[in-house]
Amino acid sequence: MAPRKKKTVDMSNSLADNAYISGAGTVMERQITETLETNYMPYAMSVIMSRAIPEIDGFKPSHRKLLYTMYLMGLLGSQRIKSANIVGRTMQLNPHGDAAIYETMVRLAEGYQALLHPYVDSKGNFGKAYSRDMAYAASRYTEAKLSPIANELFCDINKETVDFVDNYDSTMQEPTLFPVTFPSILVNANTGIAVGMASSICPFNLEEVCRTTIAYIKDNDCDITDTLLAPDFPIGGELIYDRAQMEEIYRTGRGSFKVRAVYNYDKDANCIDITEIPPTTTVEAIIEKVIELCKNKKIQDIKDIRDETGLSGLRITIDLKNRTVDPDKLMAKLFKSTPLMDSFSCNFNILIATTPKVMGIREILSEWTAYRVECVKRRVYFDLNKAKDKYHLLQGLAKILLDIDKAIKIVRETAEEKEVVPNLMIGFGIDEVQAEYVAEIKLRHLNREYILKRTSEMENLEKEIEKLEGILKSRQKVYNIIIAELENVIKKYGKPRCTRIVSGEEAVIDVPEEEIADYPVTVFITKDGYFKKITPLSLRMGGEHKLKEGDEIITTVETSNTAELLFFTDKHQVYKAKVNDFDDTKASSLGEFVASKLDFDEGENLCYTAVFTKYEGYMMFFFKNGRVSKVPMKAYETKTNRKKLINAYCDKYEFADAVHIPEDCEVMLKSSSGRMLLLHSGALQAKTTKDNGGVAVMTQKKGQQLVKVAIYDGSIAKPHRYRTRTLPALGSMPLAEDEGASQLSLI
């Protein structure tokens, strides 16, 4: 593409008159791809690498900065201090505001109950993960310190086990990772949304994770599902277990499983107490959904529902209307219709060497083991160098033992202080480091006892050096160290599962369809969007229909109370309902306003209503330009209980009318010019794409449009006159004898 010319903007009325700014007023036009590469991609990469996706140690940068600051403050095993103090100190590493830092602390805190093994020991109100409205207290009121398990995060961090980098203003250093002694990436839940990708890692029981890691280190081909039973959530709940489903999640790192609430029935109070809920929802969301179901009369056995969460923990109480209500059947209905049973979606996306990667459990354990092996080797190498340095110094000290008097004589006879070290080097044949060490020995230590004690350490150091070198040469010895550390973690911090595993057969999750009374009704729908469902008896006894001024009935269908409804709107959407969803009424009432009942979008109006019993036949959409679209009814059938579908029909052309036909038949079309066309729907091919543009059927001249459509009822005297062999067609002007019939049939 040829380069565009620069455009200049008149800056005569701006500050440019007083101060010249280089390049001011120049607008550069360039390719959008170039802008994305230079402006957006760095931001996207920053979010992925430095904010939203956890690394193999189980932490995001914000978590790591906070915990390391608390470690530097000496909060490991000490008294708690004010959270505000911790937040302020964390700003040395984290350039974000205090609110963001404090929120990070809240999510890591024991009081928040979001983690199986919290890293922050908290005191005060830190809110709850299962409550949307229970806000945490300000940082000046709460206190915190590091939990005992945080010892495993910082184990040997000062022995060069991990790399350190400068903080954002290069005033101090921080670790790039933690040398954590167990796979914390799998123990505590971690979720994050980056740019173009996300991460959702469910938590597992600490002991199960460590046992699985040990089994994997011993045998890379071990069956992971034997030791890693299933995810474990701090809130508890019941996990609906499917081995094949779980194996797929373990293998690919993607998938989902269901978790449902735990409840018990109080017979004396005739109420249900819910004490554990899925991790993906909140108490408020559950209560709101139950209230909505009760208002819509979907559930009629509940008298009251309230949140009784207190110091004893979570509790949602449901009062039953009477003692004949079966609590298990009621809960089965609520599991199906509310977040009391919900799916947790897994996406094990982890940063490995600054590259996001979705991995299964086996691959995660492989990466963690490799990382931990490196940490242990670096620690052993650090200890080895320290031991060698000390051994080297003691070798020089041992030579002094041969003649202490000579050493004293050299020091006393040396005229200048700077010559002491060189003279000791010459006198005993030791190097500068050893001579410096000997020269710094206090006078009180120049006795045989002290020197013998120091030199006796050489034998132990030799054994230690030999042991450390052996570890570095043997990968199996490194593995043995890791296994021993994992066993120690299990012993110190292992605890029973919080989430109970329930097999698919044991969990009654298939709720029988609620029986809907099947009786005949007549459905009336008005032009303004009011819906009436009237029984034959009420219809016979009722008088004239009550309607709003200017309104009229446009649809009358005799059907059953079990029939289905599709409400098509002028926003090219369709709302699904059942006739049973509407109350029985009388002709003397206005009926129910469909837009309010089904929660239409603002400014959305009803265009057409299809009443049917099965998803069979076709929907035909007619547009004012004479085009017709034919869509199978199956296209509107969904496996889930979705109540609203977008792109229900074509939005490219102006809508004229719609018709539901159980099977192919003839349809009469009438234009504003007066011409009529008899179309057989079999001539059109059905397309499963709901918003397809259809085909041109009735040609419209300038200023004309399709105005009426109806299923042909056989009332026209000469129907062949209005049929055609080719499409599109103009249609024919009606004969005098057909005029009345056509008007009647097209109402």
Catalytic residues: 141
Can you count the helices (H) and strands (E) in the chain? 20, 34
Strand partners, 310: 313
Chain centroid to CA 476: 39
DSSP letter (8 states) at residue 122: E
DSSP letter (8 states) at residue 52: I
Q: Which two tokens stand for residue 66?
A: 């906070």
Whole-number Å distance between alpha carbons of 379 and 377: 5
Strand partners, 317: 273, 306
Query: Which single residue is written with the structure tokens 């991990």?
Result: 162
Classify 216 as helix, strand or coil: helix
Does residue 728 have a cis bond before it (omega within 30 degrees)?
Answer: yes
CB atoms within 10 A of CB 68: 20
Whole-number Å distance between alpha carbons of 261 and 280: 11
Asked if residues 234 and 203 have their Cβ atoms less than 8 Å apart, the reply is yes
Whole-number Å distance between alpha carbons of 424 and 410: 7
Asked if residues 655 and 706 have their Cβ atoms less than 8 Å apart, the reply is no
363: phi then psi, degrees, rounded to nearest 5: -70, -35
* Three-state SS annotation for 646-688: CCCCCCCCCEEEEEEECCCCEEEEEECCCCEEEEEHHHCCCCC
Asked if residues 539 and 627 have their Cβ atoms less than 8 Å apart, the reply is no
Burial (CB < 10 A; 0-12, 13-18, 19+), residue 543, is exposed
Query: Among 654, 646, 651, 679, which residue's Cα sits nearest to residue 664?
Result: 679
Strand partners, 357: 350
551: phi then psi, degrees, rounded to nearest 5: -90, 160
Whole-number Å distance between alpha carbons of 310 and 298: 30
| The dihedral sign for the CA sequence 267, 270, 276, 277 | positive
Chain centroid to CA 656: 42
Strand partners, 306: 317
Residue 172 CA: distances (Å) to CA of 67, 94, 168: 15, 12, 9
Whole-number Å distance between alpha carbons of 455 and 401: 9
Query: Which single residue is written with the structure tokens 């600051």?
Result: 69
696: phi then psi, degrees, rounded to nearest 5: -75, 130
Strand partners, 199: 192
Whole-number Å distance between alpha carbons of 179 and 69: 16
Residue 201 CA: distances (Å) to CA of 192, 351, 359, 414, 598: 9, 13, 11, 69, 36
Burial (CB < 10 A; 0-12, 13-18, 19+), residue 376, is buried
Query: Which single residue is written with the structure tokens 């017709």?
Result: 628
Strand partners, 293: none
Asked if residues 368 and 72 have their Cβ atoms less than 8 Å apart, the reply is no
Whole-number Å distance between alpha carbons of 232 and 499: 5
Query: Among 375, 373, 368, 372, which residue's Cα sits nearest to residue 162?
Result: 375
Alpha carbon dihedral 299, 302, 306, 312, in 10-degree steps, equals -110
Strand partners, 320: 302
